[in-house]
Amino acid sequence: MKITSLCLGACLSFTLFAAQAQDVARVKIATSEGEIVAELYPTKAPKTVANFLQYVKDKHYDGTVFHRVISTFMIQGGGYDAKFSERKTRPPVVHEGRESLAAGLKNQTGTLAMARTNDPQSATAQFFINVTDNAFLDPTPIPDGDPVKHFEYQGRVYENLPRANLINAPQLFGYTVFGKVISGMEVVQKIKSAPTGAGGPFPSDVPKTPIFIHSITLLKTP
């Protein structure tokens, strides 16, 4: 009886693992510094992953560059070519940071997240790869209740706040994580170490020698 139970448990675990393995997409990012392979998680950030994969399908990223590189922070690309001409994009994708965080995705080393402006609902095609753990980029969870009886943020305590005030506060949205590098972190490390300076419209953090994204291709569909 114990052997049967053990076998059943192992079989269930394997089935769950197999199901989870099928729930990911996989892409290859071919750069001038080498290849990066990343998994994307459509069950955790469905709109974000669909948006990214549509840009991949449209070959939007081919010939773009990593235009912002900060060795202690992240590497960002997917929006400009080497002459700093900005690629045309579709309308912004809905922000899914809180959903992906609840599903276990955080801005940790090696994760992919959507870049945006100060407007949380402005992400289009640009993405970044975290090169260190950047917890401050994670969305801020909102406690239950309306009003929210107790809320702490940046050392301050707030009481009896209307829930909508917190849900809609731009500084609490964070950045949507939608994938993770599974091979090629040595390439990411090489890119993050590139000498940088001013370039095009940017006063700093631009690689002095362009680092190209030659292509992003889909290796596996979810």
Q: Is 108 helix (H, G, I), strand (E, B) or coil?
A: coil
Q: How far apart are CA 24 and CA 95, in angstroms?
A: 20
Q: How far apart are CA 180 and CA 19, in angstroms?
A: 18
- Over residues 138-179, the pLDDT tens digits come to 999 999 999 999 999 999 999 999 999 999 999 999 999 999
- Over residues 62-86, the pLDDT tens digits come to 999 999 999 999 999 999 999 999 9
The whole-model pTM stands at: 0.89
Please report the pLDDT score of residue 7 as a whole number: 56
- Over residues 78-112, the pLDDT tens digits come to 999 999 999 999 999 999 999 999 999 999 999 99
Domains of the chain, earliest start first: 22-133+175-220 (2.40.100.10), 140-173 (no CATH)
